[in-house]
């Protein structure tokens, strides 16, 4: 069964600092492209003779399946996390962030510094609930495959150049600042509640 790209439900016109052109292109070309790629890879996997396929073919297709699946899912998290005011969270998530990072402001400084340090490279800055550690952690993920084992991302910031180059050129730090002003903390709070349930 094919996985269908989720429709972009985000109203892209009021996003502060992120153009509608950039957001629509990002969704259509990178998110939807990952979903289509995943479907094509899974079709090839379904047609393989697993008993005789060369190991390098199996290895390559399974690696590419992981990359495409994580790219699609992280992009969904990214778009679901946009559309808010960027005002710092309240409630249970705020309490957890303050507990795990010392304060919400310290978390914000750490998360933005992590993302800005990734500028010019590629990957994801993630805020995740680590069930292993029983706490929220900020972490870096590259190639859509290097996520913290046992962790559930609740906020994803795409730091691949395709996410900002159209609006910001090489100035990825300005993109990070724009992203932070558009976070929908209600959506992040719902993911946090689901991850910790």
Output the pTM of the full model. Answer: 0.93
pLDDT in tens, 106-134: 999 999 999 999 987 789 999 999 999 99
Looking at the domain 91-196, which fold is it? minor pseudopilin epsh fold (3.55.40)
pLDDT value at 88 more than 70: yes
For 16-45, b where at least 16 C-beta lie within 10 A, e where not — what string?
A: eebeeebbeebbeebbbbbbbbbbebbeeb
**Residue intervals in the chain for CATH 3.55.40.20:** 91-196
20-29 contact pairs (CB < 8 A, 24+):
21/166, 21/167, 22/164, 22/166, 22/167, 23/82, 25/166, 26/75, 26/158, 26/162, 26/163, 27/75, 27/79, 29/162
- E strand residue ranges, 44-95: none
**Residue intervals in the chain for CATH 1.10.287:** 20-80
Eight-class DSSP state of 122: -
Looking at the domain 20-80, which fold is it? Helix Hairpins (1.10.287)
Give Cβ neighbours of residue 189 (< 8 Å, ≥ 6 apart). 89, 91, 92, 93
pLDDT in tens, 49-87: 999 999 999 999 999 999 999 999 999 999 999 999 888
């Amino acid at each position: 069964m094919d996985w269908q790209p989720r429709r972009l439900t985000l109203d892209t016109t009021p996003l502060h600092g992120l153009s509608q052109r950039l957001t629509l292109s990002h969704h259509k070309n990178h998110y939807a492209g990952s979903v289509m790629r995943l479907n094509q890879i899974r079709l090839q996997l379904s047609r393989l003779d697993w008993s005789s396929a060369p190991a390098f073919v199996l290895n390559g297709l399974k690696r590419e399946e992981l990359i495409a699946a994580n790219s699609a899912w992280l992009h969904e998290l990214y778009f679901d996390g946009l559309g808010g005011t960027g005002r710092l969270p309240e409630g249970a998530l705020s309490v957890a962030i303050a507990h795990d990072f010392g304060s919400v402001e310290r978390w914000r400084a750490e998360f933005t510094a992590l993302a800005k340090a990734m500028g010019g490279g590629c990957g994801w800055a993630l805020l995740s609930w680590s069930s292993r550690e029983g706490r929220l952690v900020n972490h870096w993920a590259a190639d859509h495959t290097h996520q913290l084992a046992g962790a559930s991302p609740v906020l994803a910031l795409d730091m691949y150049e395709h996410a900002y180059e159209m609006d910001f050129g090489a100035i990825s730090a300005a993109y990070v600042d724009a992203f932070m002003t558009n976070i929908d903390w209600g959506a992040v709070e719902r993911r946090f509640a689901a991850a910790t349930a």
